[in-house]
Amino acid sequence: MEFRIGQGYDVHALAEGLPMWLGGVRIPSQSGFVAHSDGDVAIHALCDALLGALALGDIGHLFPDTDDRWKGVDSKELLATVLALPAFRGWSVVNADITIALQAPKLAPHIAQMRRTLAGVMGIGEDRVSVKATTTERLGFVGRREGCEVWAIVLIERK
Ligand code: MG
């Protein structure tokens, strides 16, 4: 059996009046993420972790923001596309652990749905998907509600 580990990191700026998507879930909020896609910064970090595990580059390379195909795209599609890459044949996700830094709104009511949604797209049990959320105690750009930061780690295996 072979294992690989990957980590991903992403940031998106917040702006008033945009929809907020995180972990594949629409979060009720006055502001959302500025992006070429739906701006789901959690899924983007997860995609980068998966790509990192197999040294396949990053999602900016795979889904360039100059390509209109990805304009406004549902990031769940990006995640499914990453896992459908030929390089992932024979590999399965053991677990994923995601940490979201966002000052507001509170994400606790949405964590279960994010875990369920991401597990569904990855085709694994939701007990294998961890989503954690933290504020930054009003410090830095996250604390000033200028943006959101996400870290993701995944382990994949091939039997
Ligand atoms: Mg991104």
E strands of 1-84, at which residues? Answer: 2-16, 20-22, 25-27, 31-33
The domain limits of the chain are: 2-158
Residues with CB under 5 A from ligand 1 (ion): 10, 44
Strand partners, 37: none
Distance 134 CA to ligand 1 centre (A): 19
Question: Is the separation of the CB atoms in 10 and 158 below 8 Å?
Answer: no
pTM over 0.75: yes
Cα(12) to centroid(ligand 1), Å: 6
Q: What is the pLDDT of residues 80-129, one digit of tens each?
A: 999 999 999 999 999 999 999 999 999 999 999 999 999 999 999 999 99
Q: How far away, in angstroms, is 40 Cα from ligand 1 center? A: 7
94 CA distance to ligand 1 middle (Å): 23
CATH superfamily of 2-158: 2-C-methyl-D-erythritol 2,4-cyclodiphosphate synthase (3.30.1330.50)
The β-bridge partners of 153 are: 7, 97
